[in-house]
Amino acid sequence: ELKVEQNPLFLSMQEGKNYTIYCNYSTTSDRLYWYRQDPGKSLESLFVLLSNGAVKQEGRLMASLDTKARLSTLHITAAVHDLSATYFCAVDLTTSGTYKYIFGTGTRLKVLA
């Protein structure tokens, strides 16, 4: 059974600090996505990682993908309160004729002023 595990599940951090969220998955996939969800809102696409070694950066967030280790990371640099949200990774299990992502458990991030 495919598992997509994120850790930590909850993260409370001070503004200005750095931290990394991890996404581990148990099957072969070369594509992975990160999403952000604010309370009561939908999911917003953050990063699309399309190959082994891919690294994407947007503002204070940087995502990377290691398909051999089946691991993706979302690194937060100098956190600010606006980054408080729940972050999901999603593994692309698309096969011929079927388009399917499996989402991780989510990491709820709270940045304290």
Among 106, 107, 109, 111, binds another protein (CB under 8 A): 106
Binding residues for another protein, rule CB under 8 A, total 25
- Residue 69's contacts (CB-CB under 8 Å, 6 or more residues apart) are none
Residue 64 touches another protein, criterion: CB under 8 A: no
Among 7, 19, 24, 31, binds another protein (CB under 8 A): 31
* 3-state DSSP assignment of residue 19: strand
Which residue number, 79 or 104, has a Cβ lying nearer to another protein? 104
Among 4, 61, 74, 109, binds another protein (CB under 8 A): 4
Residue 88 touches another protein, criterion: CB under 8 A: yes
- Residue 32's contacts (CB-CB under 8 Å, 6 or more residues apart) are 23, 25, 49, 65, 72, 89, 90, 91, 92
Amino acid at 52: N
